[in-house]
Amino acid sequence: MDQIQHKFVEAQGLKLHLAEIGTGDKVVICLHGFPEIWYSWRHQMIALAAAGYRVIAPDHRGYGLSDSPAEPEKAKFADLISDIRSVLDSLDLPKVVIVAKDFGVLPAYYFALLHPDRVLGVVTIGVPFVPPGAIQYHKHLPEGFYFTRWKEPGRAEADFGRFDAKTVVRKIYTMFAKMEVPIASEGEEVLDLVDTSTTPLPAWFTEQDLEIYGSLYQKSGFLTALQVPYRSFDEEYDMPALEVKVPAMLIAGEKDYVLYFPGMEDYIRSGKVKDFVPDLETVFLPEGTHFVQEQSPEQVNQLILNFLKAKIWQ
C-alpha cells in the first residue's frame, strides 16, 4: 500500500483526491461505488501496476478526501461525468480504460458515450450498462427496498444519524455482502437489518479496512453519497446514441444481491444488454458477492488483465 501515491486535481472548483500507482501510457481509471472509496480498488491497483499499467482511483466528489459540493442536495451524476474529463485533462491523459463498480458504472458508460475519443474500453463489476427504462426493477419491489428508502430525503439521514460513520459502513458492507436484496419491513429502518453484535464482518474485510473506510466517511459524511447515487437516478441525459462502441467486460458475482433485482439477471443472461454494448464479454463468478473485487481479488485481477491484453493493448 505504501507505493500508492496521493494527489489532488481541480475539477469544477473542487479538489478531487486521486490515488495513483504505476507509470506509462497504458492508463486505467477506477471508479468506486457506495459505500466505497478509492481504497476499494487497492488490490486491483497493485496488481495492474505490477503488470505495467498506470492506475488512478479517484474519490468521487463528496466522498473520502475529495471536496464536497457546496450544496450536496444539488449534486448529480452529470457532475461525476464532467469530473472524469477534468481528471483526464488535468493529468494530460488522451485515452484510458475505465473500470467501474456499482453506481460508478453509470458515469463510466455515459462518459464513454459522450467522449468516445477518450475511452479505449470499459470493465464493470456487478452492474451492467442499464439505459433509462431498460429495467424497471424498482416498480416490482416493496416500499422497504433500501434504494426506495434512501431516495426519500431525510429518511436515510435519520437512519444513518443514529450511528457513527464506522458503524454505518460496517452495517452496509455486511448487508450488501449478502445475497438477499435488502428490504426493511414496515416500521423498520434499513440499517436495522444488520445486528452488528451478532453478525461479523465478511471474512475478506478486516477491522483495519473498516477503520480506513470509517475515518474517511467521518470526514466526508453521507450527504453527497445519498444524493448521488440514490436521489439522482432519474436524471435525463442528452446522448447522441445509446450504443457503446468500445470493448467491454462485465464481471458479475452469482451471490451479488444486485443480480436478483427483478429483471436484472434475465437482462444480462439473455443478451439484451448487448443491444447497448455489442462488444461485451460477461463472466460470472459463482461465489462472488457485491464486493467481489475485494472478496476475490486474484480472480478479478486476472480477468481484468486478460481483458486489457486481449482487447485493448495486444
Active site residue 260: no
Catalytic residue, from 63, 109, 230, 267: name it.
230
Residues in the chain, overall count: 314
d(CA 266, CA 273): 9
Cell of 60: 468521487
Active site residue 63: no
What crossing angle do the helices spanning 105-114 and 77-90 adopt, rounded to 10°?
70
Cell of 27: 492508463
Catalytic residue, from 17, 32, 60, 290: name it.
290
The DSSP secondary-structure symbol of 227 reads I
Active site residue 238: no
Catalytic residue, from 59, 67, 79, 102: name it.
102
Which residue type sits at 147? F
Q: Locate cell 451471490: which residue? A: 255
DSSP string for residues in 191-214:
GGG--TTT-PPPTTS-HHHHHHHH
First to last CA, the chain: 28
| Of 79, 74, 131, nearest in space to 105 by CA | 131
Q: Report, in this order, helix, strand and coil percent for the chain, each rounded to 5.
A: 45, 15, 40
| Of 117, 127, 133, 137, nearest in space to 280 by CA | 127
CB count, 10 Å around CB of 202? 18
Give the helix/strand (H/E) hosting 30. Answer: strand 27-31
Rg value, the chain, Cα: 18
d(CA 245, CA 280): 10
Active site residues: 102, 230, 290
